[in-house]
Amino acid sequence: MKNLIIAATLGLTATAGIATAQEKPVIASIVFQGDQFMKSLQAGMRDAGEKAGAEVLEINIDGDQAKESQAIDTYIARKVNAIVIAPVSAKNSAAALKRARDAGIVVVAVNGGLTEAGIAQATFSTSNKDLGATTGKAAASFIKETLGGKAKVAILGFKSLLPEQSGERTEGFKEAAAEGNAIDVVTEQDAWLPEKAVSVATDILTANADVNVIYAANEGGTIGAMQAVRNAGKAGSVYVFGIDGSEQLAKGLLSSDNVLQAVTAQSPFDMGASGVNAALAILKGEKVEEQTSVPTLLLSRTDADGVKAFAESLK
Protein backbone atom coordinates (compact mmCIF):
# COMPACT_ATOMS: atom_id res chain seq x y z
CA MET A 1 0.00 0.00 0.00
CA LYS A 2 1.36 3.37 -0.92
CA ASN A 3 2.31 5.71 1.89
CA LEU A 4 0.50 8.57 0.23
CA ILE A 5 -3.27 8.79 -0.14
CA ILE A 6 -4.56 11.78 -2.05
CA ALA A 7 -8.19 12.86 -1.74
CA ALA A 8 -9.25 15.64 -4.08
CA THR A 9 -12.76 15.96 -2.66
CA LEU A 10 -14.53 15.42 0.62
CA GLY A 11 -15.40 11.92 -0.55
CA LEU A 12 -12.17 10.61 0.95
CA THR A 13 -11.58 6.90 0.63
CA ALA A 14 -8.93 6.56 3.33
CA THR A 15 -9.75 5.53 6.86
CA ALA A 16 -7.32 7.03 9.33
CA GLY A 17 -7.32 6.12 12.99
CA ILE A 18 -5.17 7.55 15.73
CA ALA A 19 -1.65 6.35 15.08
CA THR A 20 0.01 4.11 17.60
CA ALA A 21 3.73 3.43 17.78
CA GLN A 22 3.21 0.67 15.18
CA GLU A 23 1.02 2.74 12.82
CA LYS A 24 1.89 5.48 10.39
CA PRO A 25 0.70 9.00 11.24
CA VAL A 26 -2.13 10.43 9.12
CA ILE A 27 -1.87 14.08 8.14
CA ALA A 28 -4.60 16.17 6.50
CA SER A 29 -3.32 18.81 4.08
CA ILE A 30 -5.72 21.70 3.35
CA VAL A 31 -5.17 24.58 0.89
CA PHE A 32 -7.64 27.15 -0.40
CA GLN A 33 -7.00 27.42 -4.14
CA GLY A 34 -5.36 25.62 -7.03
CA ASP A 35 -2.77 28.09 -8.32
CA GLN A 36 0.91 27.24 -8.70
CA PHE A 37 1.75 28.59 -5.25
CA MET A 38 -0.80 26.39 -3.48
CA LYS A 39 0.13 23.38 -5.61
CA SER A 40 3.77 23.86 -4.58
CA LEU A 41 2.75 24.32 -0.95
CA GLN A 42 0.82 21.07 -1.00
CA ALA A 43 3.61 19.30 -2.91
CA GLY A 44 5.97 20.22 -0.07
CA MET A 45 3.56 18.76 2.46
CA ARG A 46 3.23 15.60 0.39
CA ASP A 47 6.97 15.21 -0.03
CA ALA A 48 7.68 15.60 3.68
CA GLY A 49 4.91 13.17 4.54
CA GLU A 50 6.16 10.56 2.06
CA LYS A 51 9.68 10.79 3.41
CA ALA A 52 8.40 10.26 6.96
CA GLY A 53 6.23 7.30 6.00
CA ALA A 54 3.02 9.18 6.76
CA GLU A 55 -0.30 9.07 4.96
CA VAL A 56 -1.30 12.47 3.57
CA LEU A 57 -4.91 13.34 2.75
CA GLU A 58 -5.25 16.37 0.47
CA ILE A 59 -8.02 18.82 -0.30
CA ASN A 60 -8.35 22.22 -2.00
CA ILE A 61 -11.41 24.03 -0.62
CA ASP A 62 -11.50 26.66 -3.41
CA GLY A 63 -11.71 29.67 -1.11
CA ASP A 64 -14.96 28.44 0.45
CA GLN A 65 -15.07 29.00 4.22
CA ALA A 66 -17.98 26.58 4.68
CA LYS A 67 -16.19 23.90 2.69
CA GLU A 68 -13.07 24.40 4.82
CA SER A 69 -15.08 23.93 8.01
CA GLN A 70 -16.73 20.83 6.55
CA ALA A 71 -13.33 19.40 5.56
CA ILE A 72 -11.95 19.96 9.06
CA ASP A 73 -14.98 18.28 10.63
CA THR A 74 -14.56 15.35 8.22
CA TYR A 75 -10.93 14.98 9.26
CA ILE A 76 -11.91 15.18 12.93
CA ALA A 77 -14.40 12.35 12.39
CA ARG A 78 -11.68 10.31 10.66
CA LYS A 79 -9.40 10.89 13.65
CA VAL A 80 -6.39 12.10 11.67
CA ASN A 81 -3.31 12.84 13.74
CA ALA A 82 -2.57 16.30 12.36
CA ILE A 83 -4.01 19.01 10.14
CA VAL A 84 -1.56 21.21 8.21
CA ILE A 85 -3.56 24.05 6.72
CA ALA A 86 -3.27 27.25 4.72
CA PRO A 87 -6.27 28.89 6.43
CA VAL A 88 -8.69 30.78 4.24
CA SER A 89 -9.16 33.37 7.01
CA ALA A 90 -6.99 34.29 9.97
CA LYS A 91 -10.15 34.93 11.98
CA ASN A 92 -12.94 32.80 10.56
CA SER A 93 -10.96 29.56 10.24
CA ALA A 94 -10.29 29.47 13.97
CA ALA A 95 -13.52 27.91 15.23
CA ALA A 96 -13.27 24.72 13.17
CA LEU A 97 -9.57 24.34 13.92
CA LYS A 98 -10.26 24.75 17.63
CA ARG A 99 -12.65 21.81 17.36
CA ALA A 100 -9.76 19.83 15.87
CA ARG A 101 -7.46 20.79 18.73
CA ASP A 102 -10.13 19.90 21.27
CA ALA A 103 -10.32 16.49 19.60
CA GLY A 104 -6.60 15.97 20.21
CA ILE A 105 -5.47 16.71 16.64
CA VAL A 106 -2.24 18.63 16.04
CA VAL A 107 -2.84 21.85 14.10
CA VAL A 108 -0.12 23.61 12.07
CA ALA A 109 -0.80 26.72 9.97
CA VAL A 110 1.16 27.64 6.84
CA ASN A 111 0.98 30.69 4.55
CA GLY A 112 -0.50 32.72 7.39
CA GLY A 113 -1.53 32.23 10.96
CA LEU A 114 -4.66 32.67 13.05
CA THR A 115 -5.60 35.79 14.98
CA GLU A 116 -6.59 33.67 17.99
CA ALA A 117 -3.48 32.48 19.77
CA GLY A 118 -3.10 28.94 21.02
CA ILE A 119 -4.95 27.07 18.27
CA ALA A 120 -2.12 26.53 15.81
CA GLN A 121 0.77 24.84 17.59
CA ALA A 122 3.19 26.05 14.92
CA THR A 123 2.84 28.69 12.21
CA PHE A 124 4.95 29.18 9.09
CA SER A 125 4.20 32.36 7.17
CA THR A 126 5.51 35.26 5.17
CA SER A 127 4.05 38.61 6.13
CA ASN A 128 1.58 39.68 3.44
CA LYS A 129 2.46 43.30 4.08
CA ASP A 130 6.14 42.47 3.59
CA LEU A 131 5.29 40.75 0.30
CA GLY A 132 3.59 43.89 -0.96
CA ALA A 133 6.27 46.17 0.44
CA THR A 134 9.11 44.23 -1.19
CA THR A 135 7.51 44.61 -4.61
CA GLY A 136 6.62 48.20 -3.71
CA LYS A 137 10.25 49.07 -3.02
CA ALA A 138 11.26 47.69 -6.41
CA ALA A 139 8.48 49.72 -7.99
CA ALA A 140 9.58 52.86 -6.12
CA SER A 141 13.07 52.62 -7.56
CA PHE A 142 11.73 51.97 -11.06
CA ILE A 143 9.23 54.83 -10.91
CA LYS A 144 11.90 57.21 -9.68
CA GLU A 145 14.51 56.20 -12.24
CA THR A 146 12.35 55.47 -15.29
CA LEU A 147 9.14 57.46 -14.86
CA GLY A 148 10.50 60.62 -13.29
CA GLY A 149 9.00 59.92 -9.88
CA LYS A 150 5.37 59.97 -11.04
CA ALA A 151 3.04 57.07 -11.80
CA LYS A 152 -0.61 56.40 -12.51
CA VAL A 153 -1.26 53.03 -10.90
CA ALA A 154 -3.96 50.41 -11.33
CA ILE A 155 -4.25 47.61 -8.75
CA LEU A 156 -5.63 44.10 -9.16
CA GLY A 157 -6.43 42.37 -5.87
CA PHE A 158 -8.52 39.56 -4.41
CA LYS A 159 -10.42 41.26 -1.60
CA SER A 160 -13.68 39.44 -2.24
CA LEU A 161 -11.81 36.13 -1.90
CA LEU A 162 -9.38 36.83 0.95
CA PRO A 163 -9.81 40.40 2.22
CA GLU A 164 -7.12 40.22 4.90
CA GLN A 165 -4.34 38.95 2.65
CA SER A 166 -5.25 41.10 -0.33
CA GLY A 167 -5.57 44.23 1.78
CA GLU A 168 -2.19 43.76 3.46
CA ARG A 169 -0.40 43.04 0.18
CA THR A 170 -1.97 46.08 -1.46
CA GLU A 171 -1.31 48.45 1.43
CA GLY A 172 2.29 47.26 1.69
CA PHE A 173 2.81 47.94 -2.00
CA LYS A 174 1.20 51.38 -1.97
CA GLU A 175 3.13 52.59 1.06
CA ALA A 176 6.50 51.42 -0.29
CA ALA A 177 5.94 52.56 -3.88
CA ALA A 178 5.00 56.05 -2.66
CA GLU A 179 8.33 56.57 -0.89
CA GLY A 180 9.89 59.55 -2.71
CA ASN A 181 7.35 59.37 -5.53
CA ALA A 182 4.01 60.89 -6.53
CA ILE A 183 1.70 57.90 -6.83
CA ASP A 184 -1.87 58.24 -8.08
CA VAL A 185 -3.88 55.02 -7.64
CA VAL A 186 -6.48 55.32 -10.40
CA THR A 187 -8.44 52.17 -9.61
CA GLU A 188 -8.45 49.04 -7.44
CA GLN A 189 -10.37 46.04 -8.72
CA ASP A 190 -10.59 42.32 -7.98
CA ALA A 191 -9.10 39.93 -10.55
CA TRP A 192 -7.05 37.05 -9.22
CA LEU A 193 -7.48 34.45 -11.97
CA PRO A 194 -5.51 34.96 -15.21
CA GLU A 195 -8.47 35.00 -17.62
CA LYS A 196 -10.44 37.46 -15.48
CA ALA A 197 -7.35 39.60 -14.91
CA VAL A 198 -6.74 39.90 -18.68
CA SER A 199 -10.29 41.18 -19.11
CA VAL A 200 -10.23 43.57 -16.15
CA ALA A 201 -6.77 44.95 -16.95
CA THR A 202 -7.75 45.44 -20.59
CA ASP A 203 -10.82 47.43 -19.56
CA ILE A 204 -8.69 49.50 -17.18
CA LEU A 205 -6.17 50.33 -19.90
CA THR A 206 -8.97 51.24 -22.30
CA ALA A 207 -10.67 53.54 -19.79
CA ASN A 208 -7.46 55.06 -18.38
CA ALA A 209 -4.97 55.85 -21.12
CA ASP A 210 -2.60 57.45 -18.62
CA VAL A 211 -2.11 54.34 -16.45
CA ASN A 212 1.53 53.34 -16.69
CA VAL A 213 1.91 50.89 -13.77
CA ILE A 214 -0.21 47.87 -12.86
CA TYR A 215 0.29 46.08 -9.56
CA ALA A 216 -1.29 42.66 -9.04
CA ALA A 217 -1.45 41.08 -5.59
CA ASN A 218 -1.16 37.44 -6.68
CA GLU A 219 0.13 35.15 -9.41
CA GLY A 220 -3.02 34.95 -11.51
CA GLY A 221 -3.55 38.69 -11.47
CA THR A 222 0.06 39.30 -12.42
CA ILE A 223 -0.11 36.87 -15.35
CA GLY A 224 -3.34 38.44 -16.58
CA ALA A 225 -2.04 42.00 -16.26
CA MET A 226 1.12 41.08 -18.15
CA GLN A 227 -0.89 39.56 -21.00
CA ALA A 228 -3.31 42.50 -21.13
CA VAL A 229 -0.44 44.95 -21.59
CA ARG A 230 0.95 42.84 -24.41
CA ASN A 231 -2.45 42.50 -26.07
CA ALA A 232 -2.98 46.26 -25.89
CA GLY A 233 0.36 46.92 -27.59
CA LYS A 234 1.53 48.89 -24.56
CA ALA A 235 4.76 47.02 -23.84
CA GLY A 236 7.34 49.68 -23.07
CA SER A 237 4.77 52.19 -21.82
CA VAL A 238 2.88 50.21 -19.15
CA TYR A 239 4.83 48.22 -16.57
CA VAL A 240 3.65 45.38 -14.35
CA PHE A 241 4.67 44.50 -10.80
CA GLY A 242 3.28 41.56 -8.87
CA ILE A 243 3.34 38.94 -6.14
CA ASP A 244 4.22 35.22 -6.21
CA GLY A 245 6.79 33.21 -8.10
CA SER A 246 6.18 30.67 -10.85
CA GLU A 247 7.77 29.42 -14.04
CA GLN A 248 5.47 31.64 -16.12
CA LEU A 249 6.33 34.74 -14.11
CA ALA A 250 10.03 33.91 -14.34
CA LYS A 251 9.66 33.75 -18.13
CA GLY A 252 7.93 37.13 -18.02
CA LEU A 253 10.82 38.67 -16.14
CA LEU A 254 13.30 37.24 -18.64
CA SER A 255 11.25 38.28 -21.67
CA SER A 256 12.63 41.03 -23.90
CA ASP A 257 9.24 42.83 -24.00
CA ASN A 258 10.05 44.75 -20.77
CA VAL A 259 6.51 44.40 -19.39
CA LEU A 260 6.95 42.52 -16.10
CA GLN A 261 9.49 44.30 -13.89
CA ALA A 262 9.49 42.56 -10.51
CA VAL A 263 7.57 40.10 -8.36
CA THR A 264 8.03 38.95 -4.79
CA ALA A 265 8.02 35.21 -4.26
CA GLN A 266 7.77 32.95 -1.27
CA SER A 267 9.13 29.43 -0.87
CA PRO A 268 5.89 27.42 -0.83
CA PHE A 269 7.43 23.96 -1.21
CA ASP A 270 9.78 24.49 1.74
CA MET A 271 6.98 26.11 3.75
CA GLY A 272 4.67 23.14 3.21
CA ALA A 273 7.41 20.65 4.05
CA SER A 274 8.29 22.59 7.21
CA GLY A 275 4.65 22.52 8.28
CA VAL A 276 4.42 18.75 7.99
CA ASN A 277 7.79 18.22 9.65
CA ALA A 278 6.67 20.39 12.56
CA ALA A 279 3.44 18.39 12.88
CA LEU A 280 5.40 15.13 12.93
CA ALA A 281 7.77 16.52 15.56
CA ILE A 282 4.85 17.59 17.77
CA LEU A 283 3.33 14.12 17.43
CA LYS A 284 6.62 12.72 18.76
CA GLY A 285 6.42 15.03 21.76
CA GLU A 286 9.18 17.34 20.54
CA LYS A 287 9.14 21.11 20.99
CA VAL A 288 8.91 23.35 17.92
CA GLU A 289 8.91 27.09 17.36
CA GLU A 290 5.43 28.54 17.57
CA GLN A 291 6.08 31.23 14.95
CA THR A 292 8.48 30.92 12.02
CA SER A 293 8.76 33.79 9.56
CA VAL A 294 9.63 32.76 6.02
CA PRO A 295 11.46 35.65 4.28
CA THR A 296 10.37 37.20 0.99
CA LEU A 297 12.33 36.71 -2.22
CA LEU A 298 12.45 39.55 -4.75
CA LEU A 299 12.67 38.46 -8.37
CA SER A 300 13.55 41.35 -10.64
CA ARG A 301 14.23 41.98 -14.31
CA THR A 302 17.45 43.63 -13.17
CA ASP A 303 18.72 40.31 -11.74
CA ALA A 304 18.37 37.77 -14.54
CA ASP A 305 20.69 35.28 -12.83
CA GLY A 306 18.53 35.31 -9.71
CA VAL A 307 15.39 34.75 -11.77
CA LYS A 308 17.02 31.86 -13.66
CA ALA A 309 18.13 30.26 -10.39
CA PHE A 310 14.59 30.53 -9.01
CA ALA A 311 13.10 29.01 -12.17
CA GLU A 312 15.58 26.14 -11.95
CA SER A 313 14.53 25.50 -8.34
CA LEU A 314 10.95 24.90 -9.47
CA LYS A 315 11.90 21.94 -11.65
Neighbouring C-alpha atoms within 13 Å toward the C-beta of 190: 9
Q: pTM of the prediction?
A: 0.75
β-pairing, 297-300 vs 213-216, is: unpaired
pLDDT tens for each residue of 157-192: 999 988 989 999 999 999 999 999 999 999 999 999
3-class DSSP state of 124: strand
Q: What is the chain's percent helix, strand, coil content, to nearest 5?
A: 45, 20, 35
d(CA 159, CA 169): 10
pLDDT attached to residue 160: 93
What distance lies between CA 41 and its chain's CA centroid?
8
pLDDT tens for each residue of 105-119: 999 999 988 999 999
